Structure 1
Amino acid sequence: MRYSTGMAKEKELASTLKDWEAVFRQGLLTFWTFVALDAEWHDVASLKTRVKQLTNGTYDPADQTLYRQLRRHLDVGLVEVRLENSPAGPPRKLYRLSRRGRQVLEQFAYRNIQPFSQPEVQNIIERTQT
């Protein structure tokens, strides 16, 4: 019985972690999108690939989610768009951060991401590597 109780607790822990990660990742999609758009122009397909790379494959956003997010950020001036001729079909839309978007990203990272470099957090990260 002890074995099955241990397995049940492991499953419960895995389920709790999965739920927490889902909420965490959803809240950070804008951050990872902005990081990707900070360095270069992306269409939705390459943006999706870059977000997946940046998050070590833990986040694979749906195209529709990215389209909605990009429209919302275009509307408030955080992202800009340009059209690029495509050899087959309509022009491709390419996106990148606007100057204002970069400012928001920098301030957000300083206020909300930089604290992850504190020794207490780094100790927790290092514990999982041993």
Structure 2
Amino acid sequence: MAKEKELDGTLKDWESVFRQGLLTFWTFVALDAEWYDVASLKNRIKQLTNGTYDPADQTLYRQLRRHLDVGLVELRLESSPAGPPKKLYRLSERGRRVLEQFAYRNIQPFSQPEVQNVIERIQT
């Protein structure tokens, strides 16, 4: 039982680091096809990751500002019946090219037979 708890703790630590490192990837995947405000983007990221990643709003705001500053994300203001305009974000063409290259170089290798064998072992 103690070894199982230790294994679970190690797995949770690894997953935490893994998810944090991939926030930009999941954000870009979500913004590739749609305009999103931060709340909707957060929900889309949770959906894409099967609920395993729930980024803080403030983290998303900081990330979007950073990507907006370097031209990877576009901003559109949409009028709101009450209050200030709604900020909507979408991946820019430059951001789309970065996403495609990142996915090819870093995500595509997950389709290798050795990796698929590891994934399939847990399903049987």
TM-score bracket relative to the smaller structure:
over 0.9
Partner SS state of residue 32, structure 2: helix
Give the alignment of 1:1-130 within 5 angstroms.
7-130=1-124
Q: Distance in 2 between matches of 1:12 and 1:31?
A: 29
Superposition deviation, residue 23 in structure 1: 0.1
User: What's the Cα RMSD here?
Assistant: 0.4
Q: What are the Cα deviations for residues 95-130 of structure 1, in whole angstroms up to 9, with x where unaligned?
A: 000000000000000000000000000000000111
Q: Distance in 2 between matches of 1:55 and 1:105?
A: 17
Q: 4+ runs of 1 displaced by more than 4 Å?
A: none
Identity over the aligned pairs, expressed in percent?
90
Q: Distance in 2 between matches of 1:88 and 1:106?
A: 38
Q: What are the Cα deviations for residues 46-86 of structure 1, in whole angstroms up to 9, with x where unaligned?
A: 00000000000000000000000000000110001000011
Superposition deviation, residue 87 in structure 1: 1.3
Q: Distance in 2 between matches of 1:121 and 1:87?
A: 50
TM-score by length of 2: 0.99
The one-letter code sitting in structure 2 at the alignment partner of 1:49 is: N
Q: Distance in 2 between matches of 1:129 and 1:90?
A: 49
Tell me how many residue pairs correspond in the alignment: 124
Bigger CA radius of gyration = 1
- Residue ranges of structure 2 left out of the alignment (5+ in a row): none
The one-letter code sitting in structure 1 at the alignment partner of 2:110 is: F
Superposition deviation, residue 91 in structure 1: 0.4
Q: Distance in 1 between matches of 2:20 and 2:82?
A: 34
